[in-house]
Structure 1
Amino acid sequence: MKILILGIGNILFGDEGIGVHLSNYLKANYSFAPSDPANPVELEIVDGGTLAQMLIPLITSYDRVLILDCVSVDDAQIGDVYAFDFDNIPHIITWAGSAHEVEMLQTLRLVEINGDLPPVHIIGIVPEVIGEDTAFSLSENVKQGAKLMESQAIAYLAQNGITATKIANRDLQEIANLSFRGF
């Protein structure tokens, strides 16, 4: 089985880049291995940025996809985390906080219509800063919520046959400051 963690967001706009920053954080701080060596599972972590439809060939080449992103949610607090399967998006999720999110939602629907969409799980957080001024800094509420996103991502991987081992303790803001370089 092949699993993709896809970090989505625009790293130039603070909290809007949390999906990319968190995917880079996972790369920097964890090593990953199949839970059962007799049942190999491959994992790739990719910075999907704001590429949306350009990601279709990548998405369709995996058996499962975990998307890390920010989401808009009716009556939610900044830093609230929501985890859901793409085929069961809660009605309170509008997923329209920025241009990339609308494009990502449309991209997933397009792949689904074509019958090529693997099971997709989304872990999203309500951001504070979206597209106002160029900034790499993350709000305190999003940094706190990202801890829950991290634990949910690790739990998702464990449910799908991957053991995560913490190998470093680099700070999420440090990672965000360097995300433009890639990991």
Structure 2
Amino acid sequence: MSYNHENLIVGCGNTLYGDDGFGPEVIRYIKENNIEFPGDTCVIDGATSAPHYIFTLPQEKWKNIIIIDIASLNEEAGTIKVLNLDQIHEENRYMDVHGLSATYPLHDLKEKVNIKLIVIQPENIPFEMEMGLSKTLEDKIPQTINKTIEILNSMLSK
């Protein structure tokens, strides 16, 4: 798959651990339902380590990146927020199972690329492998997609 597109929408997370798989599940839903996005847009299942590697190999064509992931927001499960990269503090950043940060390489891109994160408060992150989203997060997939389209449209209009 080529990542040489102006806009990237990347779902991050681990589908083996409940709600942590939210980002990839949103991407799966988008692909299964043939949901189209405006502009030259690529939709990517970034899984866990992949975002680190994708974002360390930037393309000149990139203009906008939207990341869909979970975050500890100290809010009710299913709460969706849109964050800027500078709202993610390195000490609280997401670390995958290999100790790699999904956001760290993005800091090198933020001067050249518009970056937004669409995050959701998880309900269930099990300590042992347990596939499948909670009903709360599963029900939020369409709303997350609508928010993604809204954010992308606003990024494209700038």
* TM-score bracket for this pair, using the shorter chain length: 0.7 to 0.9
SS in 1 for 2:102: helix
Structure 2 residue 4 is matched with structure 1 residue 5: no
Name the structure 2 match of 1:99: 96
Per the alignment, do residues 123 and 33 of structure 1 end up closer, same or farther by CA in structure 2, a change over 3 Å counting?
Answer: closer
Q: Percent identity?
A: 23
Count of residue pairs the alignment pairs up: 148
Q: Deviations over 1:111-165 (max 9, x none)?
A: 44xx5x5111110111122252222211122123333212101212333559xxx
Q: Deviations over 1:63-108 (max 9, x none)?
A: 11010100111x3111111112224x178xx455x63697112232
C-alpha distance in structure 1 between counterparts of 2:145 and 2:37, whole Å: 17
Name the structure 2 match of 1:152: 147
Structure 2 residue 53 is matched with structure 1 residue 54: yes
- CA-CA distance at 1:20 after TM superposition: 0.8
C-alpha distance in structure 2 between counterparts of 1:68 and 1:58, whole Å: 19
Higher helix share: 1
Q: How does 1:75-114 map to 2 (within 5 A)?
A: 75-87=74-86, 89=87, 94-96=92-94, 99=96, 103-112=101-110
Structure with bigger gyration radius = 1
- Checking the alignment, whether the CA contact within 8 Å between 2:10 and 2:45 is kept in structure 1 is yes
C-alpha distance in structure 1 between counterparts of 2:31 and 2:58, whole Å: 19
SS in 2 for 1:12: coil
With 151-160 and 121-130 compared, the bigger mean Cα shift is at 151-160
Per the alignment, do residues 33 and 95 of structure 1 end up closer, same or farther by CA in structure 2, a change over 3 Å counting?
Answer: closer
Q: Which amino acid aligns with 1:63?
A: K
- CA-CA distance at 1:58 after TM superposition: 4.8
* TM-score when normalising by structure 1: 0.68
Name the structure 1 match of 2:127: 132
